[in-house]
Structure 1
Amino acid sequence: MQKLKNKLVCGLWLVMAISSVHAENVEESSVFKDFSTSGTVSFLTDYYSRGYSQTEGDPAIQGTLRIDHDSGLYAQIFASNSELDIGSSIELDYYLGYDYLVNDHFKLNIQYGDINYPGSDKSLTDADYEEYSIAATGMSLLTEDDALNFTFYYSPEYFFNTGKMLRYEASYNYPIAKNWNTYAQVGYNKFSSHDAYDVLWATDQEDSYYDYKVGGNYNYNDFIFDLYYVDSNINKDLTYADDAVIFSITKEF
């Protein structure tokens, strides 16, 4: 596992270097004048997503690489180490999407996501799944640079072939000072049945749960420093569903 993590770290830095060179070439080539590239490399004290830790409380290193077209179309790759006890220590996701700016205060987004766990145990039920989403974002509503977002996610066959999964998510970001922001997010997750919920969360007493995140960040010279609290009402007998305070550093390029 340690070797795989090391390879992942090296790969993320390689992606960043290649992207930087590519960005310079884009500026020099009229063929690619309508495209732009961006990316991030992050260190987190825990990879906590949608109400539970995907690294069993251990730190994570993550990276993204994104290509945007002036039309609003984009493609993105996300990579992270993970510890889900499925034989794979890497999550590798691919996204295709479209951003449509209605006006200076309202944006729409549609996206397709392909979530993968390379090297997962083939004797287990398939952990990979696809997901579709649509989002609406209001910008500069109460003050300059604030953002209110509503997103709906749909997976026709979720993790471990547990059927349909629906997620409703709302978030709000509010700037409190120059380079300082505070934010809050809440999500509601609905599964196909009590049996599906039991496969994922070891109890058939529920078929849905909520999760939330509250925190803030500071931006300095393309670095983002985040500190936030996360929790959910997933089965609390599961240690990876405990609440947590998480710190992260993200470098944008």
Structure 2
Amino acid sequence: MKLQHPIFHVLVLMASMASLPTLAEDSPHTLTANVGLTSNYVFRGISQTGGKPAIQGGFDYTHASGLYLGTWGSNVSWLTEFQGYTSGSMELDLYGGYRNTIGPISYDVGAIRYMYPGSKKDSVVGAWTSEIYGSVGWKWFTAKYSHYVSDSVFGVGPNTNGSYYLDISGSLPVADTGLALGAHWGTFNFKNDDQFIAAYGVSPDYKDWKVSATYDLGKLAKRASGMTLGVAYSDTNAEKAFWTNTGTSNTGEYLGKAATTAWISKTF
């Protein structure tokens, strides 16, 4: 049976959100859903859709103790355009962890599995990736360390387990306007990158940065709406010789180039 396009599954997700169970106000359990449309799915500085739009959505469960579980999905194009998959156009994430505060300090520890259904030849490195992470935050600032425990990291492999990504970010609300300004810097370091230097003449390691602004549309309606508008400008120093689409589609798109992205999202 032919698999339906991932956008179909996201539309089913959107329809199902209307029937989310209503929990009592004093319940320790919280269940939320989210859906969004973005002009370009950029993850850690690298476009996952080759500069094209994406429909995204997910569910989150949180317990009052701080435990949480969630799932999230999006359409992607890099599996065939970059990785060399013969088919595959969806990302599905499963994650869980624990978050809490100690005085003014917040912290979050957890794990996430990035899954990419699709077909590939045996010679193509698989894209599925496992990550454990920990973060600490103070007021508007957050530092997060992500450590990879799978054999390959988003298809960059083999033998790249032990790679890591370090993310430092800040988000500053502008008074009570509903506007928030953000900034981010990150560095991706791949283990055993000498194998890629031998093959491509460059390392896949890179740094990325971003500035952003978001606006709570509920401020216009003067009530909680769960809708957010956002815009961001991002860039990297990722090497073109490595981070350019050369897969089955051969689009020649440089995935680490500077990008301006706009999105709208809704939380239920």
Two-structure CA RMSD over aligned residues (Å): 2.2
Aligned equivalents of 2:138 and 2:11: distance in 1?
38
The aligned residue for residue 171 of structure 2 is 173
What is the SS of the residue equivalent to 1:8? helix
Question: Would you say the 8 A contact 2:10–2:73 is kept in 1?
Answer: no
The aligned residue for residue 144 of structure 1 is none
The aligned residue for residue 156 of structure 1 is 149
What is the SS of the residue equivalent to 1:206? coil
How far apart are residue 64 of structure 1 and its match?
1.8
Aligned equivalents of 2:116 and 2:194: distance in 1?
23
Aligned equivalents of 1:181 and 1:98: distance in 2?
26
Question: Would you say the 8 A contact 2:32–2:60 is kept in 1?
Answer: yes
- Structure 2, unaligned runs of 5 or more: 219-225, 245-253
The aligned residue for residue 61 of structure 2 is 67
How far apart are residue 88 of structure 1 and its match?
1.0
The aligned residue for residue 107 of structure 2 is 108
Structure 1 range deviating more: 67-76 or 187-196: 187-196
Aligned equivalents of 1:247 and 1:53: distance in 2?
13
Deviations 1:92-128 (A, max 9, x none): 000011002112x211100100100012425332210
Question: Which runs of structure 2 are paired with 1:225-236 in the superposition (5 Å)?
Answer: 225-236=229-240
How far apart are residue 11 of structure 1 and its match?
2.6
For the structure 1 residues 6 and 173, does the alpha-carbon distance in structure 2 shift closer, same or farther, using more than 3 Å as the test? closer
Question: Which runs of structure 2 are paired with 1:128-143 in the superposition (5 Å)?
Answer: 128-139=128-139
Aligned equivalents of 2:196 and 2:169: distance in 1?
25
TM-score (norm 1): 0.86
How far apart are residue 9 of structure 1 and its match?
2.7
TM-score (norm 2): 0.81
Report percent identity of matched pairs: 26
Counterpart residue identity of residue 52, structure 1: I
Aligned equivalents of 2:91 and 2:69: distance in 1?
17
The number of aligned residues is 236
Counterpart residue identity of residue 57, structure 1: G
The aligned residue for residue 242 of structure 1 is 257
Question: Which runs of structure 2 are paired with 1:72-87 in the superposition (5 Å)?
Answer: 72-84=66-78, 85=80, 86=85, 87=87
Structure with the bigger percentage of strand: 1
Aligned equivalents of 1:210 and 1:81: distance in 2?
24
**Equivalent of 2:217, from 212, 217, 220?**
220
Structure 1 range deviating more: 190-199 or 214-223: 190-199
- Structure 1, unaligned runs of 5 or more: 140-146
How far apart are residue 58 of structure 1 and its match?
0.6
